[in-house]
Homo-oligomer: A and B are copies of this chain.
Amino acid sequence: MPPTFRLGVLGGMGPLATVDFLHKLVLSTPAQRDQDHVPTVVWNVPQIADRQQAIAGAGPSPLPQLLDAVAGLNQAGATLIVMPCNTVHHWIEPLRRASPAPLLHIVDATLEVLEQRHAGEDGAGRAERCVGLVATKGALRARLYQDRLQQHGWRVLENTSEELEQLFTPGCYAIKRNALDEGSALLEKAAAALAARGARHLILACTEVPLALAHRQSPLLGLSVDPNQALAWSVLRHWEAVQGAQGTT
């Protein structure tokens, strides 16, 4: 019997973010045994041209390598594809055109979580639709989240240039060199600045930030959406819909 559902993960950007997504997917799955987990094929091949440089016009496009990976995942039987990396979504439309299997968008998955938190509310609640975007300069400049969120009626707050230079950027580098105490304190301050200016939710659109807030057991985690976790939940809704349609619960 051909598979009716097989997840394809276009990963490698970076490899640790891919592992983080897979971990969240497995832990979020209501499984009683191995066989209840989502069948998944993962392309964790990181030999892909640098995405930040390509967006900045300073390097070759990663698109040929991304197209190869999408072809490989389709050949491996993928019926739905996700990319656990924010920046690479810059190229999602040409990949969608080339892929028989549909691609989920990480921003749509994040938006679903935000919308669920405000489901069924009235005008007063709508006024609270203000989200803080904790992200790298590059991600902010690419406007991956802002345009899509604003289209859905969300006000989006970003860190100022000073906050990026004094808190966010040195915080990320500290985490990357495993200086967890130092980096976590800086990143929590960057996130807290957005909450202080009125953000009712925080999108942790950079893989270091969930780590930092968890390290400090920060109360800001309660406001936060982790896009990799949102993507895992979105995959599970698709997987459960297929299970339901097959009558195998």
Contacts and interface: CB of A to CB of B under 8 A. Distances in A.
Contact of A37 (B22, B27, B35, B46): B46
Contacts of A27: 16
Contacts of A50: 35
Contacts of A41: 41-45, 72, 76
A60 interface: no
A42 B12 CA distance: 12
11 contacts: A12-B37, A13-B34, A19-B22, A19-B23, A36-B46, A39-B44, A39-B46, A39-B47, A41-B45, A72-B77, A76-B76
A48 B14 CA distance: 29
A75 interface: yes
A14 to B, nearest CB: 4
Nearest to A41: B43
B39 A22 contact: no
Contact of A76 (B26, B48, B72): B72
Interface residues of A, number: 31
Contacts of A219: none
A19 B42 CA distance: 11
A22 B44 contact: yes
A79 interface: no
Nearest to A17: B34
A225 to B, nearest CB: 22
A8 to B, nearest CB: 11
A129 interface: no
Interface in A1-54: 6, 12-16, 18-19, 22-23, 26-27, 34-37, 39-48, 50
Interface string A184-223: 0000000000000000000000000000000000000000
Contacts of A77: 72
A27 to B, nearest CB: 8
A220 to B, nearest CB: 25
A26 B16 contact: yes
A45 B75 CA distance: 15
Contact of A19 (B12, B26, B39, B76): B26
Nearest to A23: B19
A48 B22 CA distance: 19
Contact of A42 (B23, B36, B37, B44): B44
Interface string A150-164: 000000000000000
